[in-house]
Structures are given as structure tokens and as C-alpha cells.
Chain A
């Protein structure tokens, strides 16, 4: 399938991040159009488009908005999840750097639809420039009269607050994000109640990913049928695929859902010269890895599920034959241990032991019985943890073991960096040799 630059169409304009640059291509033109119809019609349109959340889980966006009770007398809130911290995910931050107004405009349509007069954009703290860009876009939108009270004479009020986090992956989990936004430790809440019923300040709240919200202005402009002409029935529309790793041209590739990894690899110039694909991960470290034999499966929610993995954030990581699977998995497990919020025992204790055991494999000092022990611990964590971070921590090992068992066996006698020279895996390996 061909590339389809939509959200990325004007990123090569020098001023793509400013309101002038955004308005030159019709930005904000749709705001009065949404205001011209009943909010329920905006929800109906998003439902009809079939848009699914781009934050990883792929929940239908229109349906989520529809869960918000109406005429309940409570304030409603829109919260944008811009915490992007999943290893491998790198699409929302570029979007906020290059095209922050698409996000701001999306907030206006979404807030109008769910009858929210307050929106919050929660951005991870470690990306000051993305925070500056979004904050500047919000200020510009106020000045131009697209935010504030009685916007464009519609009677609709909206305030947007740009909020920075402070370094905690778990705050990307939507209920942990809410606690964090309330000024607390970011730890997940028990569901139900779901945020649509009792979210921020115990009021109805919609939480959506940056890319999800940034899609809304285009859907309002071009309609559901236009949106659905690409992708599949279950996975309509387009996606920002961020391809990273051992490829010639890593970067952002906007293409219809259903594009294959082989096509994306093609656009990215293929696996780096002189090397071959070993394994790849379709969407963040929390989803199971795949092999070269899976390159022709369409990148959709349903096709990835049929392979036992997930589309996740749709940000494929590519690793060539110089990569030690043991080292890769060990580092991801270490990440989950570091980021476990400590609220529940299976995840807090389990990731601690997994980290120690994987470290042994990496050092070549594991016992053969450790292979099953790790698997056992993963099974103790998966499905028994309070939130999806625990499940994610238990995910990478099983497929790695299934596909590359011999590397784990080797981890009982030989360090990973003896089996795989770490220098050969670096991007500057060639330069060092020269």
C-alpha cells in the first residue's frame, strides 16, 4: 500500500508547528463545522469512522466517547495521554513537535462532543521541547479565539492546560495518569468504575492518545467513508508507523492500517546493508516479537492478534542478526522492573526476580533449570497483576524462548556479548572498522 501523508503532510513546512502554518492548510476551519451540529453528531461521526485508539489497546474511540453520561450535572473532562514512554514508541512526541495544532484542534472537537469545558494534555516530563511546542500552540489558539469562553460565538467554553509529568512510565496507564494529574503518586486505580463514569476528580473523563485526538480534525473534515476507504473493516484509517532499529532509513512513515512490515521495510530502505532481519516487534516492547516469516501479515489489530501478538503502538522495532535476543529481553525486563509502581505483589516481586534471572542468562551464568523458572515466574505475573504493566513484563520472554531457545541455552555457559559482539550491532560499527 502506498504511503499516505495526512497528519505528516506538511511537516516539511518550516512553520508547520505554528498556527499560521497550520491554518494555511485549512487548520481550525472545521471548528465552526462541529459547533454547527449537535455534539452527539460528532460522536456519531467518530463512531462511524471506526477510529480505534492509537495508544496501544485499539479501543473504538467513538464508543468510548459515547460512554460519557449526559446531563448528569457533573463537569466532564478530556485528558490527552501524551506520556509516550513505551520502549519503541516514538510517534506522539514527533507529532507534538511538528504539528501540535492538530492535537489542539482535535481537543476542541473532542471536548465539544463529550461536553467537556476542561481539557488536559499530560506530557511526559522528559521532552521539554514537545511541551514548549504544545504550550505555544495552546497560547496561539487562545489568541486566535479557538479556546476560552464562548468560542467563535458558539456558547461553548474550553480551557486547555498543558501539564508535564516527572518521569514514570506507569503514568501512561490511564488511571495512573489520572492519579498523577490529581497530584498523587501515579498508581493504577481499580476498574470499574471506568474513567468515563468516574475519572478525573471522580467526574466523567475521556482519556485518549495524542495520535487518536490528532486524527479527529481530519475525520470531521473528510468524513467516515473517506476514512474507512483505507485499512480493514476492523482497523480502518491511517497510522503513524515509526520504524526504528537496524534499517537504512529509520523514521516516521504514515500509511494505511493493513500495510505490511515488508512494505514498511521497503520504504525504510530495508535492513541495513549487509545484514539480515532477525526479529521485529510490531508495536512497543509490551507486545510479542515476530520473525521474518511474518513480514507479509497486514499490520492491523486483528491480523496481529492472529499471530499471537498485538499492533500496540504501531511503532516497529527492527533487529538484525548481530543482536543478542537474550540481551534484548534482559534489558526490557530490567525496564519493567524499574517502572513497576510497586502496588501489587506479582509485578513488584516478579519483575525483581525476572531481572535477576535474565541477568544470569546475559552473563552466561544461568542454570538450565532457570529456563523453566523464568517461564514459571512469567506465568505467575501474567493475568495476576493489577494492571497491564505486569502482563507486559511477562510478555517478551515466551516468544523469545520459542524462537531462540538455543540462545538461552547458551546463556548457561557463555556471556551474551561473547556470542554476539556488541560492537557489530551498533550503528557506528562500520565507522569504527574504517
Chain B
């Protein structure tokens, strides 16, 4: 893939979404990354051109954020959370197993280009530890055998579904979605049907616990009436 006139048009559209166009820079870097798989000098130049910035200004931003990659990641960029909670609950073991099986370390790509590995920080999913991601989609409650199975399936091109989301797309597809272009997948992965997310609600229902009764009317309705009178 490469940067095209469409990329430029999409970038201009992003710039138009903000009161000040420079605010579109982060989404725009996701966009050029979706077109080229990484943030290249050409991608930086495109952003700079659309926003009227220098290449250096754009590069200074791009290098600050870990999600912008300066060299190609795999078709599936796999993250293993090794922040404390996940690490202790099994993330370190999962990391070691994947790294050994794939023969790559942190920030490295398999020879066939299918998988890259990253030690990632807390993904705001600690209730689902140990947590893994593939192209940033959640793979919750992992263990070593399942983690190995996931990468095997990804490598062989079989479908892998996020535990709380859609079928995992390619890195380029996810990056385009992050740039702010709808991929139509918002409905995938069910409502809140996840036992961890529903843990409290389930317990409350089983034990007849509920929030206090709501008043008949909003106090603001009364306030509005007073103003009218």
C-alpha cells in the first residue's frame, strides 16, 4: 500500500473536523500509518503539507507516541501486557512463551512478516488479566496454550475474534479506524455480555440489590416551572 490522492483527501477531511486543523495531527498520523503500515518520511511530509507545518514539527510529534511505528510491524501486531497486575497473573509467562515460540523479542517481527511482538503497558482491562492484544483488540483472560493458539491462527490466516470486539483485522485496517473512519464494526462483540463487566450486576440481581427508587420527577422540571411562573 502507499499514500494516494485518497489519503490526501482523507487527511484534509480530518483537518476539517477541528476548529484548528493542527488538532487533526494524531488522527492523521494514524491515517498515513494505515496507508503505509508505518510512519514514513513521506507520511510525515503529507501531514506537514496538509497542516502547513514543517516536517520537523510533525516528526517531533510522531516520535513522542508509542503507537506510531518507525519500522514495519507484522500483519498482526501482538501485545502482551506486562504491567504489574497482568505480569503477576501470568503475562510474563505468556510473553516468554510467545517470544520463544516466534523467535522474536520486544518490537521485533517474525521473518514471514506475520507477527510482531510488543510488551505493552496496562490496557485498562485489568479485571480481565492476563491481557493480550492483537492489532489492539482485546484478547482477555489469556493463558499460555491459548496465547500460542492465537498466534498460530493469526499466522496461518485463520479468523481470530477479539473477546470483546470484532474479528481481528489487519494492522492497516485498525489504524484507519483509529484515524476516525468508520469500519462498521461497532456492533460486533455483543452488548455487555462479558462476565467480568457484568460481575456486579449479576451479583446484585442474584441478591436482589438495586439502586434506590428514583423520585417521580427531575428537580429541574420543578425549577423550570418556577421560572415560568
Contact = CB atoms under 8 A, between A and B. Distances in A.
Interface size class of B (residues with CB under 8 A): 35 or more
Interface in B187-214: 187-193, 195-204, 207, 209-212, 214
B201 A11 contact: yes
Interface in B211-229: 211-212, 214-215, 218-221, 223-224, 227
B130 interface: yes
A338 B121 contact: yes
Contact of A252 (B166, B197, B210, B224): B197
A91 to B, nearest CB: 8
Contacts of B209: 2-5
A30 B214 CA distance: 14
A335 B220 contact: no
A224 interface: yes
Nearest to B144: A428
A251 B185 CA distance: 25
A223 B215 contact: yes
B177 interface: yes
A127 B223 contact: no
Contacts of B212: 4, 226, 229-230
Given A166-B30, A183-B24, A94 B197 contact: yes
A16 B221 contact: no
Contacts of B133: 126
A57 B23 CA distance: 27
B3 interface: no
B136 A88 contact: no
Interface residues of A, number: 114
A201 B21 CA distance: 11
Nearest to B62: A166
A98 B187 CA distance: 11
A86 B19 CA distance: 29
Nearest to B82: A331
Contacts of A181: 23
A317 B85 contact: yes
A3 B200 CA distance: 7
B218 A223 contact: yes
B8 interface: no
B90 A426 contact: yes
A332 B124 CA distance: 15
A5 B203 CA distance: 10
Interface in B27-74: 27, 29-30, 51, 60-61, 64-68
A128 B227 contact: no
B89 A128 contact: no
A127 B136 contact: yes
Contacts of A162: 180
A23 interface: no
Given A36-B220, A89-B124, A128 B178 contact: yes
Nearest to B177: A128
B126 interface: yes
A129 B165 contact: yes
B183 interface: yes
Contact of B227 (A38, A90, A243): A38
B200 A167 contact: no
Interface string B66-94: 11100000000001001111011110110
B201 to A, nearest CB: 5
B127 A183 contact: no
Interface string A116-140: 0010000011111101110110010
Interface in A93-108: 93-94, 97-99
A252 B214 contact: no
A3 B164 contact: no
A366 to B, nearest CB: 19
A3 B193 CA distance: 19
Sorted nearest first, the 5 A-B pairs with minimum C-beta distance are A251-B199, A11-B192, A183-B25, A253-B200, A136-B186
11 contacts: A3-B209, A4-B204, A37-B224, A90-B122, A129-B137, A183-B25, A184-B25, A226-B214, A315-B126, A426-B93, A427-B89
